[in-house]
Amino acid sequence: MGSGERSLKRLIVTGDDFGISIPVNEAIEKAYTGGILTTTCLMVGESCVEDAVSRAKRLPQLGVGLHVVVARGKPTLSPKELPTITADGFFHDNLIGAGFRYFFSKRARSELRAEIRAQFEAFQKTGLMLDHVNAHNHMHLHPTILGIILELAEEFGVKAVRLPAENSQNLGSFLLTPWIALMRRRLRRAGIRFNDQIVGISETGMLDKTTLLAAIDQLPDGVTEVFSHPATKPWESMDPKASAFKFEEEFEALVAPEVTAAINKSDISLATFRDI
């Protein structure tokens, strides 16, 4: 269940896409050891996953979740096993098209179930403790994808899931309201813990120091997750769709002394998902 009834302000600070590149892995380790980052999420199908796991094992208190990838990324299974949901060795880029396919195509759902299971199995083989589960591009908000995660929850020890509920007045947040409500009900029914709100969706790729300080200053009661995309520098295989992301500024925000000082002066407690 959620923790909104508690007056204590708890803040989960997450760096997404662990394993996608060495600069991202470096940023996550440095933001944990020298900043406010508490949590990350592992992309088990990416090229630098072994480096990420090695770093995580040096940092046993770092919360490491599974970042399920079912769109805009690499599958864990061979693309030959996923002919309906992949093209040219990757998942489809069109999120809306993928969403319809996962909802209406029985074959796509079968491939999706096999791929998500493979990602859980790959995470399990790392030997890391599973802190929580979320999905690339928040695709676990999709009822079919969330349903598969919940089916696998007991087998793989899923205790917590990211709830992408942002307190925003923009149209996107408004349109997601019924889906967030459905997700919240399903997680509660399954006994899965989740954050009360999230910061970073509207600021994806742009969560600089000023934005982070404002979020800390305005933090509501309950459990808030701030998620970011830090990196120490650009890398060759960057997704062109993320070309405008300010990866380095996001990293610098997480290690900024002013941000740490703001946390220390407040009544905010830093946390991981296993703490809620």
What's the predicted TM-score (pTM) here? 0.93
Q: Domain for residue 89, yes or no?
A: no
Domain residues for the domain of 26 are 9-73+129-275
Q: What confidence score (pLDDT) does residue 271 get?
A: 98
Q: What confidence score (pLDDT) does residue 240 get?
A: 73
Q: What confidence score (pLDDT) does residue 171 get?
A: 64
Q: Domain for residue 195, yes or no?
A: yes
The number of distinct structural domains making up the chain is 1
Q: What is the mean pLDDT of the chain?
A: 93
Q: Domain for residue 265, yes or no?
A: yes
Q: Domain for residue 119, yes or no?
A: no
Provide DSSP, the chain. Answer: ---TT--SEEEEEEEEEETS-HHHHHHHHHHHHHSS--EEEE-TTSTTHHHHHHHHHH-TTSEEEEEE-SSSS--SS-GGG-TTTEETTEE-S-HHHHHHHHHH-HHHHHHHHHHHHHHHHHHHHHT--EEEEEEGGGGGGSHHHHHHHHHHHHHHT--EE----B---SHHHHHHHHHHHHHHHHHHHHT-EE-SEEE-STTTT---HHHHHHHHHTPPSEEEEEEE---SS--TT--GGGTT--HHHHHHHHH-HHHHHHHHHTTEEEE-GGG-
Q: Domain for residue 116, yes or no?
A: no
Any idea what the CATH number is for the domain that residue 50 is in? 3.20.20.370
Q: Is residue 88's pLDDT more than 90?
A: no
Q: Is 51 in contact with 271 (CB distance < 8 Å)?
A: no
Q: Domain for residue 117, yes or no?
A: no
Q: What confidence score (pLDDT) does residue 241 get?
A: 75
Q: Domain for residue 87, yes or no?
A: no
Per-residue pLDDT, averaged over 24-42, amounts to 99
